[in-house]
Amino acid sequence: MYFEIVPSTVQGSTNLLIRVKDNIVLDYEQKQSITLMVWANETSTRERNSASTTIQLNITNQNDNSPNFTMSEYSASVPEGSSVSTSIITVKAIDKDLPNFGFVSYALRDGDGMFSIDSSGLVTVASDQLDRETKSVYYISVEATDPGGWKDTAQLTVSITDVNDNAPVFRRDYDGYLKENETSFSKPIIVSTTDADIGVNAQVRYSISRTYPIDLDSHFAVDGVTGVLSVVVPLMNSDTSQVAVLVRATDSGTPPLFSDVNVTISLLTPARTCRETACPPCTPILHCEEEETSSSVFFRRCSRCEQGFYRKAGACEVCPRPHAGCRDLICSSATDVHCTSCYPSFYLTGNTCSDCPQTGPDCQQVECTGPRQVTCTKCKDGLFFFNNQCTACPSTILIPDCVDVARDGCFKHWCRKCAPGFFISGTVCDVCPLPDAGCQVAECNSSSSYSNCVRCFHGYHLQGGLCHNVSGQGSTPSQCADHPKADCASLQASLNVCSEPSTACDYCPRYCNMCDTCTQGMPIIG
C-alpha cells in the first residue's frame, strides 16, 4: 500500500488524514494523477453499513532528475585559423524530467574564449585567432544545467590541426669567400631554416632563385635537402668583387610557402687588394672565441670555438644534437658529441641522454638521475601527488546540498550556489531556517539565510511566507517548537496529534517526544 488513513478507527465523526506511506508511486514522469477509493465500514453494528468515495490525486511536477551527459569525455579537432561559427562537435545531456524542468542549457569553461556552445549542445569556433603554433590542444569543461540548478559536467578535448600558415625562416644571413678558378669556398656554406608548422607543411627544399650578376646562374648549385651551396663552374677573370646568390626555401604544404636569403660571396684574386674587396678582418668568424694568427690577409682560421660548436676548415660548426633530451653539449667533431646535461624526463648516462622510465600512466612529467631514481614532478590534470603516486583529486561533490562548486586546484573549493531549501554559509550550504513552527518547507536566497515558508503542516494556513493556525485554538504553533513538553491536551484539541503517536513527528519534528499526558483515552506520544 502506498497510502494510509489516520486514524484508521473512529467513533462518531472526525477529520481523517490521508498520508503517503511509500512515495515511489509519486513520480510525475510516470503518472500525473492517481485515483484513490476510500471505504468506511461499520465494525460494531449488525447492519455493517459502508460508504465509499473517490479521491482524484493530482501529482505536481518537481525537479527531481539532474541532467546527465551521454558521454563523460568528448574529443574533436578543428583546423587552425578556422572562421567564426565553424562547427566542431555536438554534445548531449539528457534530463528525465518533463517540461519545463527537463530543459537543459549548456556552458563552456576554460576554453580561453575560443569556443562557444548553443542551446542544442553544438560547439563552434568563437574566435578567428586559433593558432596551433600558440596552443595545440584545449581542455574544456562542458556544463549542462536544468532550470532547477542541477548540473552535470563532461570533458571536451579540442585538438587544433596544422595548416600551412608559416613560411620557412632562415636562421641567419650567409657569406663566404671564393678564389678564382676554385671549385670550393674557403669554408663550407650551408643554409638552413626553421618552419613553425609540422609534418609535410614543415618539409623544406632549397633551390637557387637567381644570382647577381645574372649571368652567373650556372656557376652555383644548392643541395635541395642539406642546403649545401656548391660551385659548379669556377669563376675566372671576373670583373666583379662580389656575387649575390639568392637561395629559396620552399615548404611542401598546400599551397607551398617560401622565403629567400642572400648569400654574399666575396671573390679573391691576386691582383685585388683589401681596398678593392671587403677586408676579411672586418667580418668576424661566427661562434669563434679565438683566431689563429696568419700572415695572409685573406685567410683566417679559428683556433677555439664557443661551447656547442666545433672547428671545421678554420670555421665553427654547430654540434649536432644526438638526442632530443640533450640540453647542453660539447663536441670535437660531428661524430664526437658529449651531452653534459639533459632536459626534464631524461637522465645523463655516459655522454648521452636516456628517457626516464615512466612512473605510471597518470604522471605527465618526471625527473630522474638514473633508471631507478625517478620522481614524478607533475601529474596529469585532475590528479595530485600523494604517497609517491598520482592520485585522483577528490570529487567536486564534497559540499552537501551544493549544485555549483568552485575549485582552485585539488583541495581549495567552495560553493557558489546551493540547492533549493539551502543557503550559502561561508564556503558550505546550510538549511534554510523555518520561520515558524507550522512551516514544513522553507525557501531562501542562496546567499542569504532569510526564509519564506512555501508549505505548511496540516492545520496551518500559508500567508505572506508564514504559517497561521487555522483553528486559532489552544497553543500557538511556537509552543511546539519552543517547549519540548508542550500541553498535549491543547495540541490534541487543535491538531489531533495524540490520535496517532507518529503524527507528532510530522507536526513538530524538533520534539517528537513532546507529550507527558494526553486527554482521557488517548495514547501517550513517545
Task: Tell the residue number behind the cell numbers 644570382, with chain if given.
Answer: 211
Is the confidence at residue 10, as pLDDT, over 70? yes
pLDDT of residue 190: 93
Report the SS3 class of residue 74.
Answer: strand
Rounded mean pLDDT, 192-203: 91
- 497/31: higher pLDDT: 31
Is the confidence at residue 281, as pLDDT, over 80? no
* 457 in Cβ contact with 467 (< 8 Å): yes
Looking at residue 432, its amino acid is C
pLDDT of residue 448: 67
Stretch among 141-150, 492-501, 508-517 having the lowest mean pLDDT: 508-517
Q: How much of the chain, in percent, has pLDDT values that exceed 70?
A: 81
* 360 in Cβ contact with 379 (< 8 Å): no
Is the confidence at residue 508, as pLDDT, over 60? no
- 183/323: higher pLDDT: 183
Cell of 166: 608559416
Rounded mean pLDDT, 234-258: 88
Cα distances (angstroms) measured from residue 16 to each of 8, 169, 264, 512: 8, 90, 108, 21
The closest of 490, 436, 491, 482 to 463, measured between CA atoms, is: 436
- 368/279: higher pLDDT: 368
Is the confidence at residue 131, as pLDDT, over 90? yes
Alpha carbon 478 to its chain's center: 51
- 410/4: higher pLDDT: 4
pLDDT of residue 495: 53
Stretch among 214-223, 363-372, 401-410, 502-511 having the lowest mean pLDDT: 502-511
pLDDT of residue 394: 64
* Tens-place pLDDT, residues 134-157: 899 999 999 999 988 889 999 999
Is the confidence at residue 297, as pLDDT, over 60? no
Rounded mean pLDDT, 272-297: 58
Is the confidence at residue 484, as pLDDT, over 70? no
Enumerate domains of the chain plus CATH numbers. Answer: 3-58 (no CATH), 68-161 (2.60.40.60), 356-393 (no CATH)
**Interatomic CA distance for residues 81 and 133, integer angstroms:** 11
DSSP state of 499: G
Give 395's pLDDT tier (boundaries 50, 70, 90): low
* Three-state secondary structure string covering 410-469: CCEEEEEEECCCEEEECCEEEECCCCCCCEEEEEECCCCCCEEEEEECCCEEEECCEEEE
Rounded mean pLDDT, 252-276: 78
Query: Around Cβ 288, how many Cβ atoms within 10 Å?
Result: 20
Rounded mean pLDDT, 322-327: 80
Burial (CB count within 10 angstroms: exposed 0-12, middle 13-18, buried 19+), residue 412? exposed
Rounded mean pLDDT, 204-228: 91
Is the confidence at residue 284, as pLDDT, over 90? no
pLDDT of residue 260: 92
Give 68's pLDDT tier (boundaries 50, 70, 90): very high
Rounded mean pLDDT, 457-470: 78
Is the confidence at residue 519, as pLDDT, over 50? no
pLDDT of residue 273: 40
Stretch among 383-387, 403-407, 511-515 having the lowest mean pLDDT: 511-515
Rounded mean pLDDT, 505-514: 46
Considering 3-12, 18-27, 96-105, 114-123, the range whose residues carry the highest mean pLDDT is 114-123
Could you tell me the pTM of the whole model? 0.47
CB under 8 Å to 88, separation ≥6 — which residues?
A: 76, 78, 115, 123, 124, 125, 158
Is the confidence at residue 282, as pLDDT, over 50? no
Cα distances (angstroms) measured from residue 488 to each of 19, 336, 498: 22, 100, 7
Is the confidence at residue 193, as pLDDT, over 50? yes
